[in-house]
Structure 1
Amino acid sequence: MMTRLIAATDDLAAVLGERANGLAGTGAGGYDPGLTGQRHIFNQFASSLDELTDIPDAPVPTWVRNEAGTWAERLRLMSDQPMSTLVHDDIRIDNLLQRPTGEIVFLDWGAAGIGPDWLDPLLARLERVDQDWFDTSLTSSAALARIGDEAVTSWLVGIGTHLAVRTVTAVDVNLPTLQEFRRTESARFLSAAARRLR
Protein backbone atom coordinates (compact mmCIF):
# COMPACT_ATOMS: atom_id res chain seq x y z
CA MET A 1 0.00 0.00 0.00
CA MET A 2 2.78 2.45 0.91
CA THR A 3 4.53 1.97 -2.43
CA ARG A 4 1.26 2.63 -4.23
CA LEU A 5 0.57 5.72 -2.12
CA ILE A 6 4.02 7.17 -2.79
CA ALA A 7 3.67 6.69 -6.54
CA ALA A 8 0.14 8.12 -6.56
CA THR A 9 1.18 11.17 -4.54
CA ASP A 10 4.16 11.88 -6.77
CA ASP A 11 1.81 11.68 -9.78
CA LEU A 12 -0.71 13.91 -8.00
CA ALA A 13 1.93 16.58 -7.37
CA ALA A 14 2.83 16.66 -11.06
CA VAL A 15 -0.82 16.93 -12.16
CA LEU A 16 -1.63 19.64 -9.60
CA GLY A 17 1.44 21.60 -10.67
CA GLU A 18 0.10 21.70 -14.22
CA ARG A 19 -3.44 22.63 -13.17
CA ALA A 20 -2.32 25.41 -10.82
CA ASN A 21 -0.55 27.27 -13.61
CA GLY A 22 -1.10 30.97 -12.98
CA LEU A 23 -2.55 30.69 -9.46
CA ALA A 24 0.71 31.58 -7.75
CA GLY A 25 0.64 35.11 -9.06
CA THR A 26 -2.90 35.98 -7.99
CA GLY A 27 -3.85 37.61 -4.72
CA ALA A 28 -1.81 39.23 -1.98
CA GLY A 29 1.24 37.25 -0.92
CA GLY A 30 1.51 35.34 -4.17
CA TYR A 31 -1.39 32.92 -3.71
CA ASP A 32 -5.08 32.84 -4.40
CA PRO A 33 -6.92 34.48 -1.47
CA GLY A 34 -9.31 31.51 -1.29
CA LEU A 35 -6.50 29.05 -0.67
CA THR A 36 -3.98 28.49 2.11
CA GLY A 37 -0.54 29.91 1.35
CA GLN A 38 2.33 27.67 2.41
CA ARG A 39 4.65 30.69 2.40
CA HIS A 40 2.73 31.96 5.44
CA ILE A 41 2.95 28.56 7.14
CA PHE A 42 6.72 28.34 6.63
CA ASN A 43 7.03 31.76 8.24
CA GLN A 44 4.87 30.58 11.16
CA PHE A 45 7.33 27.74 11.67
CA ALA A 46 10.19 30.25 11.68
CA SER A 47 8.37 32.49 14.17
CA SER A 48 7.89 29.55 16.54
CA LEU A 49 11.65 29.00 16.48
CA ASP A 50 12.20 32.71 17.17
CA GLU A 51 9.88 32.52 20.20
CA LEU A 52 11.61 29.60 21.90
CA THR A 53 13.60 31.81 24.28
CA ASP A 54 10.31 33.13 25.67
CA ILE A 55 8.73 29.67 25.96
CA PRO A 56 11.09 27.58 28.12
CA ASP A 57 8.47 24.91 28.83
CA ALA A 58 7.88 24.01 25.17
CA PRO A 59 9.05 20.38 24.71
CA VAL A 60 11.87 21.20 22.30
CA PRO A 61 15.32 19.57 22.61
CA THR A 62 18.43 21.58 23.42
CA TRP A 63 20.00 20.98 20.01
CA VAL A 64 17.08 22.83 18.37
CA ARG A 65 17.10 25.67 20.91
CA ASN A 66 20.86 26.18 20.51
CA GLU A 67 20.50 26.71 16.75
CA ALA A 68 16.97 28.14 16.65
CA GLY A 69 18.05 31.24 14.72
CA THR A 70 19.77 29.15 12.05
CA TRP A 71 16.74 26.90 11.60
CA ALA A 72 14.42 29.92 11.42
CA GLU A 73 16.58 31.52 8.76
CA ARG A 74 16.58 28.34 6.67
CA LEU A 75 12.79 28.20 6.81
CA ARG A 76 12.49 31.84 5.78
CA LEU A 77 14.80 31.20 2.84
CA MET A 78 12.64 28.22 1.88
CA SER A 79 9.52 30.41 2.09
CA ASP A 80 11.09 32.73 -0.50
CA GLN A 81 11.35 29.91 -3.05
CA PRO A 82 8.74 29.63 -5.83
CA MET A 83 5.43 28.18 -4.65
CA SER A 84 3.23 27.61 -7.65
CA THR A 85 1.69 24.19 -7.11
CA LEU A 86 -1.78 23.37 -5.89
CA VAL A 87 -1.16 21.14 -2.84
CA HIS A 88 -3.54 18.84 -0.96
CA ASP A 89 -1.64 19.48 2.30
CA ASP A 90 -3.39 16.72 4.26
CA ILE A 91 -2.10 13.46 2.82
CA ARG A 92 -2.91 10.89 5.51
CA ILE A 93 -4.12 7.32 5.49
CA ASP A 94 -7.59 8.37 6.67
CA ASN A 95 -7.93 10.79 3.75
CA LEU A 96 -7.55 8.09 1.12
CA LEU A 97 -9.68 5.48 -0.61
CA GLN A 98 -8.42 2.60 -2.69
CA ARG A 99 -10.51 1.48 -5.62
CA PRO A 100 -10.91 -2.26 -6.34
CA THR A 101 -8.51 -1.68 -9.24
CA GLY A 102 -5.86 -0.46 -6.76
CA GLU A 103 -5.99 3.22 -7.70
CA ILE A 104 -5.68 5.74 -4.86
CA VAL A 105 -8.35 8.43 -4.47
CA PHE A 106 -7.43 11.52 -2.43
CA LEU A 107 -10.21 12.84 -0.17
CA ASP A 108 -10.75 15.87 2.09
CA TRP A 109 -9.40 18.86 0.20
CA GLY A 110 -10.24 21.32 2.99
CA ALA A 111 -6.58 22.22 3.59
CA ALA A 112 -5.70 22.63 -0.10
CA GLY A 113 -3.52 25.58 -0.96
CA ILE A 114 -0.63 26.87 -3.01
CA GLY A 115 2.82 25.65 -2.06
CA PRO A 116 5.98 23.91 -3.23
CA ASP A 117 5.73 20.87 -5.47
CA TRP A 118 7.56 18.70 -2.93
CA LEU A 119 5.11 19.19 -0.04
CA ASP A 120 2.56 16.45 -0.80
CA PRO A 121 5.26 13.87 -1.65
CA LEU A 122 6.86 14.67 1.71
CA LEU A 123 3.58 14.41 3.62
CA ALA A 124 2.87 11.02 2.05
CA ARG A 125 6.07 9.68 3.58
CA LEU A 126 5.55 11.07 7.11
CA GLU A 127 3.73 8.00 8.40
CA ARG A 128 7.16 6.34 8.48
CA VAL A 129 9.22 9.42 9.38
CA ASP A 130 10.62 7.60 12.42
CA GLN A 131 12.12 4.85 10.24
CA ASP A 132 15.21 4.72 8.05
CA TRP A 133 12.81 3.93 5.20
CA PHE A 134 11.74 7.59 5.24
CA ASP A 135 15.26 8.80 4.46
CA THR A 136 15.84 6.36 1.63
CA SER A 137 12.36 6.93 0.15
CA LEU A 138 13.08 10.61 -0.50
CA THR A 139 15.25 9.77 -3.51
CA SER A 140 12.28 8.22 -5.34
CA SER A 141 10.63 11.65 -5.64
CA ALA A 142 12.21 13.98 -8.19
CA ALA A 143 10.91 17.02 -6.29
CA LEU A 144 12.29 15.86 -2.92
CA ALA A 145 15.61 14.83 -4.45
CA ARG A 146 15.86 18.28 -6.02
CA ILE A 147 15.39 20.25 -2.77
CA GLY A 148 17.86 18.04 -0.88
CA ASP A 149 18.26 16.68 2.64
CA GLU A 150 18.84 20.02 4.35
CA ALA A 151 15.48 21.39 3.25
CA VAL A 152 13.63 18.26 4.38
CA THR A 153 15.36 18.31 7.76
CA SER A 154 14.68 22.03 8.17
CA TRP A 155 10.99 21.48 7.45
CA LEU A 156 10.87 18.68 10.05
CA VAL A 157 12.50 20.95 12.63
CA GLY A 158 10.07 23.73 11.71
CA ILE A 159 6.87 21.74 12.00
CA GLY A 160 8.13 19.84 15.05
CA THR A 161 8.98 23.06 16.87
CA HIS A 162 5.74 24.74 15.84
CA LEU A 163 3.68 21.84 17.20
CA ALA A 164 5.72 21.83 20.42
CA VAL A 165 5.14 25.55 20.94
CA ARG A 166 1.43 25.07 20.32
CA THR A 167 1.27 22.45 23.10
CA VAL A 168 1.91 25.20 25.65
CA THR A 169 0.38 28.26 23.96
CA ALA A 170 -2.80 27.03 22.24
CA VAL A 171 -6.14 26.68 24.01
CA ASP A 172 -8.44 24.13 22.38
CA VAL A 173 -11.40 23.76 24.72
CA ASN A 174 -13.47 21.50 22.49
CA LEU A 175 -10.57 19.32 21.28
CA PRO A 176 -9.24 17.56 24.40
CA THR A 177 -6.98 15.12 22.53
CA LEU A 178 -5.33 17.70 20.26
CA GLN A 179 -2.56 18.65 22.67
CA GLU A 180 -1.42 15.05 23.08
CA PHE A 181 -1.48 14.64 19.29
CA ARG A 182 0.73 17.74 18.96
CA ARG A 183 3.18 16.42 21.56
CA THR A 184 3.40 13.01 19.92
CA GLU A 185 3.84 14.33 16.38
CA SER A 186 6.31 17.00 17.47
CA ALA A 187 8.47 14.38 19.16
CA ARG A 188 8.34 12.15 16.07
CA PHE A 189 9.35 14.94 13.69
CA LEU A 190 12.14 16.30 15.88
CA SER A 191 13.50 12.81 16.56
CA ALA A 192 13.53 12.14 12.82
CA ALA A 193 15.39 15.40 12.21
CA ALA A 194 17.95 14.46 14.88
CA ARG A 195 18.44 11.04 13.25
CA ARG A 196 19.01 12.68 9.88
CA LEU A 197 21.69 14.98 11.36
CA ARG A 198 23.81 12.14 12.75
Structure 2
Amino acid sequence: MTNGTRTRIGWTDLPDHVRVAVEEILGDRVVVAVSQHGGFSPGTADRVRTAGGGRAFVKAVSPAQNDRSPHMHRSEALVAAALPSGTPAPRLLGSYDDGDWVALVFADVEGRHPATPWDADELAAVLSTLEAMAAALTPAAVAAAPTAAERLAQDFAGWRRIAEDPPADLDPWARTRLPELHAAAERGLAALAGETLCHLDIRADNLLIGPDGTVSVVDWPWACRGPAWLDSLLVLVNVQVHGGHDPEVLLRARPLTAGADPAGVTGVLAGLAGFFLDAARQPPPPGIPTVRAFQRLQGDALLPWLARRLP
Protein backbone atom coordinates (compact mmCIF):
# COMPACT_ATOMS: atom_id res chain seq x y z
CA MET A 1 0.00 0.00 0.00
CA THR A 2 1.19 3.52 -0.68
CA ASN A 3 1.47 6.14 2.00
CA GLY A 4 0.04 8.71 -0.35
CA THR A 5 -0.07 12.39 0.44
CA ARG A 6 0.72 13.64 3.94
CA THR A 7 -0.72 17.12 3.29
CA ARG A 8 -4.34 16.32 2.47
CA ILE A 9 -6.94 18.87 3.47
CA GLY A 10 -10.26 17.82 5.00
CA TRP A 11 -13.94 18.68 4.85
CA THR A 12 -13.65 21.50 7.40
CA ASP A 13 -10.87 23.11 5.34
CA LEU A 14 -13.23 23.68 2.40
CA PRO A 15 -14.66 27.18 1.91
CA ASP A 16 -18.21 27.58 3.15
CA HIS A 17 -19.64 27.97 -0.37
CA VAL A 18 -18.10 24.67 -1.48
CA ARG A 19 -19.54 22.80 1.50
CA VAL A 20 -22.95 24.39 0.83
CA ALA A 21 -22.76 23.27 -2.81
CA VAL A 22 -21.97 19.70 -1.77
CA GLU A 23 -24.85 19.70 0.72
CA GLU A 24 -27.17 20.91 -2.05
CA ILE A 25 -26.12 17.92 -4.16
CA LEU A 26 -26.77 15.64 -1.19
CA GLY A 27 -30.02 17.37 -0.27
CA ASP A 28 -29.04 17.37 3.40
CA ARG A 29 -26.55 18.79 5.89
CA VAL A 30 -23.22 17.00 6.45
CA VAL A 31 -22.73 16.20 10.15
CA VAL A 32 -19.77 13.78 10.03
CA ALA A 33 -16.76 13.69 7.71
CA VAL A 34 -13.93 11.17 7.98
CA SER A 35 -10.81 11.71 5.87
CA GLN A 36 -9.60 8.66 3.92
CA HIS A 37 -5.98 7.60 3.61
CA GLY A 38 -4.14 6.49 0.47
CA GLY A 39 -3.72 8.05 -2.94
CA PHE A 40 -1.79 11.17 -3.81
CA SER A 41 -4.30 14.01 -4.18
CA PRO A 42 -3.75 16.85 -1.69
CA GLY A 43 -7.47 17.66 -1.85
CA THR A 44 -10.21 16.29 0.37
CA ALA A 45 -11.16 12.62 0.34
CA ASP A 46 -13.91 12.27 2.92
CA ARG A 47 -16.62 9.77 3.68
CA VAL A 48 -19.49 11.94 4.89
CA ARG A 49 -22.75 11.29 6.72
CA THR A 50 -25.73 13.63 6.60
CA ALA A 51 -28.20 14.59 9.30
CA GLY A 52 -30.72 12.21 7.80
CA GLY A 53 -28.26 9.30 7.76
CA GLY A 54 -27.28 9.49 4.11
CA ARG A 55 -23.72 8.62 3.13
CA ALA A 56 -21.45 9.78 0.34
CA PHE A 57 -17.81 10.20 -0.63
CA VAL A 58 -16.62 13.74 -1.34
CA LYS A 59 -13.40 14.86 -2.99
CA ALA A 60 -12.58 18.52 -3.61
CA VAL A 61 -9.51 20.50 -4.56
CA SER A 62 -8.35 23.89 -5.81
CA PRO A 63 -5.14 25.12 -7.49
CA ALA A 64 -3.91 26.26 -4.06
CA GLN A 65 -3.25 22.61 -3.17
CA ASN A 66 -1.89 21.58 -6.60
CA ASP A 67 -2.32 23.36 -9.91
CA ARG A 68 -3.02 20.14 -11.88
CA SER A 69 -5.50 18.55 -9.47
CA PRO A 70 -8.59 20.60 -10.45
CA HIS A 71 -8.11 19.56 -14.09
CA MET A 72 -7.95 15.91 -12.98
CA HIS A 73 -11.19 16.30 -11.02
CA ARG A 74 -12.87 17.86 -14.05
CA SER A 75 -11.70 14.97 -16.23
CA GLU A 76 -12.96 12.45 -13.69
CA ALA A 77 -16.35 14.17 -13.52
CA LEU A 78 -16.80 13.77 -17.28
CA VAL A 79 -15.76 10.11 -17.21
CA ALA A 80 -17.74 9.16 -14.10
CA ALA A 81 -20.91 10.73 -15.50
CA ALA A 82 -20.60 8.62 -18.67
CA LEU A 83 -19.79 5.23 -17.15
CA PRO A 84 -22.49 2.62 -17.85
CA SER A 85 -24.56 1.52 -14.86
CA GLY A 86 -22.89 -1.89 -14.70
CA THR A 87 -19.39 -0.49 -14.30
CA PRO A 88 -17.83 -1.59 -10.97
CA ALA A 89 -17.30 2.02 -9.91
CA PRO A 90 -19.02 4.39 -7.46
CA ARG A 91 -21.92 6.33 -8.98
CA LEU A 92 -21.38 10.06 -9.43
CA LEU A 93 -24.13 11.93 -7.56
CA GLY A 94 -23.08 15.37 -8.75
CA SER A 95 -20.22 17.81 -9.13
CA TYR A 96 -19.46 21.46 -8.43
CA ASP A 97 -17.03 23.72 -10.29
CA ASP A 98 -16.68 27.45 -9.68
CA GLY A 99 -13.54 27.80 -11.79
CA ASP A 100 -11.36 27.53 -8.70
CA TRP A 101 -12.69 24.75 -6.49
CA VAL A 102 -13.88 21.49 -8.03
CA ALA A 103 -15.86 19.02 -5.91
CA LEU A 104 -17.08 15.54 -6.84
CA VAL A 105 -19.77 13.73 -4.84
CA PHE A 106 -20.03 9.95 -5.19
CA ALA A 107 -22.23 7.29 -3.70
CA ASP A 108 -20.32 5.85 -0.76
CA VAL A 109 -18.97 2.36 -1.39
CA GLU A 110 -18.20 0.32 1.68
CA GLY A 111 -14.86 -1.42 1.40
CA ARG A 112 -11.14 -1.42 2.01
CA HIS A 113 -8.07 -1.49 -0.18
CA PRO A 114 -6.65 -4.92 -1.08
CA ALA A 115 -3.95 -6.24 1.21
CA THR A 116 -0.36 -5.88 0.07
CA PRO A 117 1.57 -8.09 -0.44
CA TRP A 118 -1.33 -9.28 -2.55
CA ASP A 119 -3.67 -11.96 -1.20
CA ALA A 120 -4.46 -14.71 -3.73
CA ASP A 121 -8.25 -14.55 -3.37
CA GLU A 122 -8.37 -10.76 -3.50
CA LEU A 123 -6.10 -10.69 -6.52
CA ALA A 124 -8.25 -13.24 -8.34
CA ALA A 125 -11.36 -11.16 -7.58
CA VAL A 126 -9.67 -7.99 -8.86
CA LEU A 127 -8.48 -9.63 -12.09
CA SER A 128 -11.91 -11.16 -12.74
CA THR A 129 -13.52 -7.77 -12.14
CA LEU A 130 -11.12 -6.03 -14.53
CA GLU A 131 -11.80 -8.65 -17.22
CA ALA A 132 -15.56 -8.17 -16.87
CA MET A 133 -15.10 -4.40 -16.78
CA ALA A 134 -13.10 -4.47 -20.02
CA ALA A 135 -15.92 -6.37 -21.72
CA ALA A 136 -18.52 -3.92 -20.42
CA LEU A 137 -16.50 -0.89 -21.52
CA THR A 138 -15.85 -2.08 -25.08
CA PRO A 139 -16.49 -0.04 -27.12
CA ALA A 140 -15.44 2.86 -24.91
CA ALA A 141 -18.30 4.55 -23.09
CA VAL A 142 -16.53 7.91 -23.41
CA ALA A 143 -15.96 8.37 -27.12
CA ALA A 144 -14.09 11.64 -26.56
CA ALA A 145 -11.57 10.01 -24.22
CA PRO A 146 -7.98 10.27 -25.48
CA THR A 147 -6.19 7.16 -26.65
CA ALA A 148 -3.76 5.38 -24.37
CA ALA A 149 -0.96 6.27 -26.79
CA GLU A 150 -1.90 9.95 -26.52
CA ARG A 151 -1.98 9.72 -22.72
CA LEU A 152 1.38 7.95 -22.50
CA ALA A 153 3.44 9.31 -25.39
CA GLN A 154 5.36 11.80 -23.25
CA ASP A 155 5.71 9.35 -20.37
CA PHE A 156 7.05 6.54 -22.56
CA ALA A 157 9.87 8.82 -23.76
CA GLY A 158 11.42 8.46 -20.30
CA TRP A 159 14.27 6.22 -21.45
CA ARG A 160 15.27 8.78 -24.08
CA ARG A 161 15.47 11.46 -21.40
CA ILE A 162 17.41 9.13 -19.12
CA ALA A 163 19.88 8.32 -21.92
CA GLU A 164 20.47 12.03 -22.49
CA ASP A 165 21.25 12.57 -18.81
CA PRO A 166 21.77 9.24 -16.99
CA PRO A 167 21.49 9.49 -13.20
CA ALA A 168 24.51 8.32 -11.22
CA ASP A 169 22.45 5.66 -9.43
CA LEU A 170 20.92 4.16 -12.58
CA ASP A 171 20.72 0.37 -12.38
CA PRO A 172 23.79 -1.12 -14.15
CA TRP A 173 21.67 -3.52 -16.23
CA ALA A 174 19.49 -0.64 -17.43
CA ARG A 175 22.53 1.50 -18.18
CA THR A 176 23.85 -1.11 -20.60
CA ARG A 177 20.45 -1.54 -22.30
CA LEU A 178 19.31 2.07 -22.76
CA PRO A 179 18.86 1.94 -26.58
CA GLU A 180 17.01 -1.37 -26.30
CA LEU A 181 14.77 -0.09 -23.51
CA HIS A 182 13.90 3.04 -25.48
CA ALA A 183 13.11 0.97 -28.58
CA ALA A 184 10.95 -1.39 -26.51
CA ALA A 185 9.02 1.54 -25.05
CA GLU A 186 8.27 2.80 -28.57
CA ARG A 187 6.95 -0.66 -29.47
CA GLY A 188 4.85 -0.55 -26.34
CA LEU A 189 3.33 2.75 -27.36
CA ALA A 190 2.39 1.26 -30.73
CA ALA A 191 0.78 -1.73 -28.96
CA LEU A 192 -1.71 0.45 -27.08
CA ALA A 193 -4.34 0.58 -29.82
CA GLY A 194 -7.83 -0.47 -28.80
CA GLU A 195 -11.37 0.73 -28.15
CA THR A 196 -11.80 -0.35 -24.53
CA LEU A 197 -12.24 2.39 -21.94
CA CYS A 198 -9.24 1.81 -19.65
CA HIS A 199 -8.82 3.22 -16.16
CA LEU A 200 -5.02 3.52 -16.64
CA ASP A 201 -4.17 3.94 -12.96
CA ILE A 202 -5.01 0.54 -11.51
CA ARG A 203 -3.21 -0.19 -8.27
CA ALA A 204 -4.20 -1.30 -4.78
CA ASP A 205 -5.12 2.15 -3.48
CA ASN A 206 -7.52 2.72 -6.39
CA LEU A 207 -9.47 -0.47 -5.61
CA LEU A 208 -11.96 -1.29 -2.86
CA ILE A 209 -12.88 -4.78 -1.67
CA GLY A 210 -16.39 -4.83 -0.25
CA PRO A 211 -17.58 -6.95 2.70
CA ASP A 212 -19.08 -9.41 0.20
CA GLY A 213 -15.85 -9.59 -1.81
CA THR A 214 -17.03 -7.41 -4.70
CA VAL A 215 -14.46 -5.06 -6.20
CA SER A 216 -14.96 -1.36 -6.96
CA VAL A 217 -12.59 0.69 -9.10
CA VAL A 218 -12.20 4.32 -7.98
CA ASP A 219 -10.45 7.47 -9.25
CA TRP A 220 -10.93 7.71 -13.03
CA PRO A 221 -9.22 10.96 -14.17
CA TRP A 222 -6.80 9.20 -16.53
CA ALA A 223 -9.38 7.11 -18.42
CA CYS A 224 -8.50 6.52 -22.06
CA ARG A 225 -9.19 4.23 -25.02
CA GLY A 226 -6.80 1.32 -25.27
CA PRO A 227 -6.42 -2.45 -25.40
CA ALA A 228 -8.68 -4.61 -23.23
CA TRP A 229 -5.67 -6.11 -21.44
CA LEU A 230 -4.11 -2.84 -20.27
CA ASP A 231 -5.76 -2.49 -16.84
CA SER A 232 -5.07 -6.16 -16.06
CA LEU A 233 -1.40 -5.62 -16.89
CA LEU A 234 -1.29 -2.57 -14.65
CA VAL A 235 -2.54 -4.51 -11.64
CA LEU A 236 0.19 -7.08 -12.32
CA VAL A 237 2.69 -4.20 -12.19
CA ASN A 238 1.32 -3.45 -8.72
CA VAL A 239 1.78 -7.11 -7.82
CA GLN A 240 5.41 -6.87 -8.94
CA VAL A 241 5.83 -3.78 -6.74
CA HIS A 242 4.20 -5.16 -3.60
CA GLY A 243 4.87 -8.89 -3.97
CA GLY A 244 2.85 -11.94 -3.10
CA HIS A 245 2.80 -13.64 -6.52
CA ASP A 246 4.80 -14.06 -9.71
CA PRO A 247 3.25 -11.62 -12.21
CA GLU A 248 4.74 -13.53 -15.15
CA VAL A 249 2.78 -16.64 -14.17
CA LEU A 250 -0.39 -14.57 -13.80
CA LEU A 251 0.26 -12.86 -17.13
CA ARG A 252 0.17 -16.21 -18.91
CA ALA A 253 -2.78 -17.54 -16.90
CA ARG A 254 -5.34 -14.75 -17.34
CA PRO A 255 -7.31 -14.64 -20.60
CA LEU A 256 -6.80 -10.99 -21.53
CA THR A 257 -3.07 -10.75 -20.87
CA ALA A 258 -2.35 -14.26 -22.20
CA GLY A 259 -3.75 -13.20 -25.56
CA ALA A 260 -1.76 -9.97 -25.76
CA ASP A 261 1.27 -9.68 -28.07
CA PRO A 262 4.31 -10.51 -25.88
CA ALA A 263 6.51 -7.86 -27.51
CA GLY A 264 3.80 -5.27 -26.95
CA VAL A 265 3.45 -6.22 -23.30
CA THR A 266 7.22 -6.03 -22.82
CA GLY A 267 7.18 -2.64 -24.50
CA VAL A 268 4.48 -1.31 -22.19
CA LEU A 269 6.43 -2.52 -19.16
CA ALA A 270 9.54 -0.83 -20.55
CA GLY A 271 7.65 2.40 -21.15
CA LEU A 272 6.26 2.39 -17.63
CA ALA A 273 9.67 1.68 -16.09
CA GLY A 274 11.27 4.53 -18.02
CA PHE A 275 8.48 6.89 -17.00
CA PHE A 276 8.71 5.98 -13.32
CA LEU A 277 12.51 6.24 -13.13
CA ASP A 278 12.65 9.50 -15.07
CA ALA A 279 9.80 11.08 -13.11
CA ALA A 280 11.26 9.96 -9.77
CA ARG A 281 14.27 12.24 -10.18
CA GLN A 282 12.12 15.35 -10.63
CA PRO A 283 11.17 17.69 -7.76
CA PRO A 284 7.94 16.62 -6.03
CA PRO A 285 4.77 18.34 -7.24
CA PRO A 286 3.25 20.91 -4.86
CA GLY A 287 1.26 19.23 -2.11
CA ILE A 288 2.29 15.68 -3.12
CA PRO A 289 5.63 15.07 -1.39
CA THR A 290 5.63 11.25 -1.46
CA VAL A 291 4.85 10.52 -5.11
CA ARG A 292 8.48 10.58 -6.31
CA ALA A 293 9.52 7.88 -3.85
CA PHE A 294 6.60 5.71 -5.00
CA GLN A 295 7.54 6.24 -8.65
CA ARG A 296 11.10 5.17 -7.86
CA LEU A 297 9.80 2.09 -6.05
CA GLN A 298 7.74 1.13 -9.10
CA GLY A 299 10.55 1.73 -11.57
CA ASP A 300 13.05 -0.28 -9.53
CA ALA A 301 10.54 -3.12 -9.18
CA LEU A 302 9.92 -3.31 -12.92
CA LEU A 303 13.58 -3.68 -13.93
CA PRO A 304 13.93 -7.33 -12.78
CA TRP A 305 10.73 -8.21 -14.62
CA LEU A 306 12.06 -6.54 -17.75
CA ALA A 307 15.37 -8.38 -17.39
CA ARG A 308 13.39 -11.64 -17.52
CA ARG A 309 11.65 -10.58 -20.71
CA LEU A 310 14.65 -8.92 -22.38
CA PRO A 311 17.45 -11.47 -21.74
TM range (shorter): 0.7 to 0.9
Percent identity of the aligned residues?
25
Between the aligned partners of 1:62 and 1:154, the Cα distance in structure 2 is 20
Given that residues 97 and 106 in structure 1 are in contact (C-alpha distance below 8 angstroms), is that contact kept between their aligned partners in structure 2? yes
What is the CA–CA distance in structure 1 between the aligned matches of 2:265 and 2:250, rounded to whole Å?
A: 12
Q: Could you tell me which residue of structure 2 aligns to residue 106 of structure 1?
A: 217
Whether the aligned pair in 2 keeps the contact of 1:139 and 1:145 (CA below 8 Å) is yes
Give me the whole-angstrom Cα distance separating, in 2, the residues matched to 1:118 and 1:178. 26
Residue 114 of structure 2 is aligned to residue 3 of structure 1: no
Match of 1:128 among 236, 239, 242: 239
Q: Tell me if 1:91 matches 2:212.
A: no
**TM-score (normalizing by structure 1):** 0.79
Residue 14 in structure 1 maps to residue 135 in structure 2: yes
Distance 1:69 1:167 in 2: 20
Work out whether residues 58 and 167 of structure 1, in 8 Å CA contact, stay in contact via their aligned partners in 2: no
Counterparts of residues 35-114 of structure 1 (less than 5 Å): 35-57=145-167, 59-81=169-191, 82-114=193-225
Shift of 1:21: 7.0
| Corresponding residue to 2:256 among 140, 143, 163 | 143
How far is the alpha carbon of 1:119 from its aligned partner?
0.8
Deviation at 1:45, TM superposition (A): 3.9
TM-score, structure 2 normalization: 0.53
State the superposition RMSD in angstroms: 2.5
- Gap change, CA 1:87 and 1:171, over 3 Å in 2: same
What are the within-5 Å matches in structure 2 for residues 23-38 of structure 1? 23=143, 32=144, 35-38=145-148
Is the Cα–Cα contact under 8 Å of residues 58 and 168 in structure 1 kept in the other structure? no
Q: Quote the residue 1:162 is aligned against.
A: 275
Distance 1:94 1:159 in 2: 18
Q: 1:43/1:67 Cα in 2 relative to 1: closer, same or farther (>3 Å)?
A: farther
> Which has more radius of gyration?
2
Q: Say if 2:274 is the partner of 1:153.
A: no
More strand by share: 2
The verdict on how the C-alpha distance between 1:193 and 1:83 changes in structure 2, with shifts beyond 3 A counting, is same
Q: Which structure shows the higher helix fraction?
A: 1
SS in 2 for 1:102: coil
Match of 1:186 in 2: 299
Gaps of 5+ in 1: 24-31
Asked if the contact 1:42–1:76 (Cα under 8 Å) also holds between the matched residues in 2, the reply is: no
Whole-angstrom CA distance in 2 between matches of 1:111 and 1:172: 17
Q: Which residue of 1 aligns with 2:226?
A: 115
* Structure 1: distance between partners of 2:155 and 2:256: 21
SS in 1 for 2:285: coil
Give 1:134 shift: 0.6
Q: How many residue pairs end up in the alignment?
A: 187
Q: Answer yes or no: is the 8 Å Cα contact 1:6–1:125 preserved in 2.
A: no
User: For residues 111 and 147 of structure 1, what CA distance do their matches in structure 2 show?
Assistant: 22
3-state SS in 2 of match to 1:169: coil
Question: C-alpha offsets along residues 51-108 of structure 1, whole Å, 9 cap, x if unaligned?
Answer: 2232221653233333333333333334334221100112222222333432212222
